[in-house]
Chain A
Amino acid sequence: MPLSLFLVQMLNGLQFGLILFLIAAGLTLVFGVMDFINLAHGVQYMVGAYLAAMFTALTGNFLFGLLLALPTALAFGLFLEVLIFRKLYERDHLDQVLATFGVIITLNEAVKILWGAAPLSVPVPEILSGSIPLIGGLRYPIYRIAIIVAGLAVGLLLYILVNRTKVGMLVRAGASNAPMVAALGVNIRLLFTFVFGFGAMLAGFAGAMVTPILSVEPGMGDNVLILAFVVIVIGGIGSVRGAFLAALLIGVVDTLGRFMAPMLLSAILDPSTASQTGRAIAPMLIYVLMAVTLCIRPAGLFPAKR
């Protein structure tokens, strides 16, 4: 296989993984601290994308669109928290799953009513358009590089925030033993609202960042939500570090799998069967990966709870 093509796929995998990380980080912290399973987290990603698309169209500038979308996504997340999610913390997981499932149904439809069922597209910002040359004559779009850089920057920021600040210390403590932290006099509700809003904004940021490369459509959050679940299950619930590594792993395995499975199979099968079988197997790879991880370590790679 040509090395440059492999490199392009690796970069695509990295970019996809970092987007997944932005979504999974909030999900894993919310679950880790409050034991709250939020299916509607993927909706935040969709809302972020729609807000970015709307504000970009209004201002005519992607950067302004992004800057306006972030606080709006944050506000929307906090609005949902106050209106619905707060009532669910004391409930069992089944109720949480169902109620947040209801939120998904409602918001997917609301988005369809507000912006129509047809996918929206957002142009790549002028300054980040074009591509840079890689080895072997292949080129790679600058915008995707920008996503990788932004993702890594947010990852670093989160690392510092979680590991080097007082709030981060409380979040880590909350993830490993919330009742104890509350008993020590920390307002765990306030801490949680903070974590929740931050997670919602990160998911919104991920949604806004992908608008120039993916179509913005109702239900776009559903699939990434399930992938984010796979990520946090592999990474260990409550662990940001685990989410980061697992997200990159999933991103790379999924992207390379789709690309390489048909190619590898063509060595043993005839081309048309190989491409068909390859396309059938590739989407299953990450779930197999998850199953294997759980067989070896049922609580994920870096469990936060002991």
Chain B
Amino acid sequence: MTDAARPVEQSVPAAAPASLRRIMVPIVVFAGLAIAPWIAQFGTESFILSLLTRVMVLGLAALSLDLLIGYAGLVSFGQAAFIGIGAYAVGILASHGINGIALQTAAALAASAIFAAITGAISLRTRGVYFIMITLAFGQMLFFLATSLAAYGGDDGMTLPSRSLFLGYDLLDSDRALYYVAFVTLGLVYLACRMLVASRFGRVLRGARQNPVRMQAIGFSPYRYQLVLYIIAGMIAALAGVLLANTSEFVSPATMSWQRSGDLIFMVVLGGMGSLHGAILGAIVFLLAEEVLAGFTEHWHIIFGPLLILCVLYIRGGITPLIERTRP
């Protein structure tokens, strides 16, 4: 798991270009996303915009998971549950006539923080595989709760009456506006996370990942830091859920299926753990590959599954370190 961080510090002479490339990756990714709508108008605009909005939304969720996996070594297999909380906050409130995005977002953040605090307090008492299984089980718990909510569509889910309103205006009805809302959200959260992992808080977490006993010996309690991080990651994923519900205008238990959690882990590992922009890159590659393969055959999983296995077996460390290591 430490592989992702290691190659960067290795060669001293190449340090300058390597660090330059490290900044270049996020800049290129965000610049590309910023101008994509302009390019999209030459193609099937609504399709490209909705695909890329989904990419950014799931990239946001993958980013939250990278905080846990890449910086704290906490492999959560239940991150999709938080996307579900965000999506259902929009869906449930909208079905009661509350359409304002501010209120919906506030509800999503509050609900996800509470759920993260409770499940995190229990899950973080365990280590390693136990943690993976418990987060998976809590995710399933929420999934089954959602399927039993008959008033809100149960198994089938529910279609939103409309997209969320911004201060009473239907600004988000334009695909392009929604795209830029997702873009700005992703950008701001990315910068906030950058600051978070560089802060003392982030250094404590990385220290705890490398040597929890030593961190305790010098007076830190990793548990509290990890719990706070778990809550932050949950809230970011819930934010992604709010956006996802607006993108698809549909909410269903499938939003938080355990396969979705697995997909998110794959995005993080594919992009390269512990770099933040790697998770976004992973989401881009993942969803575009999915789209391309689905264009070939309806049984695209039969190609995708083996690709996933091969990636795990042979591309260690993910895409981002590959780019950063490549000499021009």
List A residues at the B interface (Cβ < 8 Å). Answer: 31, 37, 84, 87-88, 91-95, 97-99, 101-110, 112-113, 222, 226, 229-230, 232-233, 237, 276, 279-280, 282-284, 287-288, 290-291, 294-295, 298-299
Contacts and interface: CB of A to CB of B under 8 A. Distances in A.
B126 A298 contact: yes
A105 B305 contact: yes
Contact of B75 (A93, A99, A276, A288): A93
Nearest to B309: A102
A290 B299 contact: no
A108 to B, nearest CB: 7
A98 B306 CA distance: 11
Given A103-B309, A109-B299, A109-B301, A98 B266 contact: yes
Contacts of A92: 1
A88 B312 CA distance: 9
B122 A37 contact: no
B43 to A, nearest CB: 29
A233 B132 CA distance: 11
B141 A97 contact: no
B308 A237 contact: no
Report whether over half of chain A's contact residues are helix, strand or loop; otherwise say mixed: helix
Contacts, number: 124
Report whether over half of chain B's contact residues are helix, strand or loop; otherwise say mixed: helix
Contacts of A230: 133, 137
Given A99-B308, A99-B313, A287-B140, A105 B134 contact: no
Contacts of B269: 94-95, 98
Interface of B: 1, 69, 75, 77, 122, 125-126, 128-130, 132-134, 136-138, 140-141, 144-145, 147-151, 258-259, 262, 265-266, 269, 299, 301-302, 304-309, 312-313
B136 A229 contact: yes
Contact of B128 (A93, A101, A226, A287): A93
A283 B302 contact: no
B308 A105 contact: yes
Contacts of B128: 93
Contacts of B130: 233, 237, 294, 298-299
A285 to B, nearest CB: 9
Contact of B125 (A31, A88, A233, A294): A294
Contact of A101 (B144, B145, B262, B306): B262
B140 A294 contact: no
Contacts of A276: 148, 150-151
A163 to B, nearest CB: 25
A91, A107, A108, A284 — which one has the most chain B CB atoms within 10 A of its CB?
A284
B313 to A, nearest CB: 6
A99 B141 CA distance: 24
A232 B134 CA distance: 11
A102 B122 contact: no
B302 A98 contact: no
Given A97-B75, A284-B144, A295 B308 contact: no
Contacts of B305: 102-107, 109
Nearest to B140: A226
Contacts of B138: 287, 291
A112 B305 CA distance: 14
Nearest to B300: A109
Contact of A280 (B1, B145, B302, B313): B145
Nearest to B151: A276
Task: Give 5 nearest A-B pairs by CB, closest first.
Answer: A106-B305, A102-B308, A109-B301, A283-B144, A105-B305
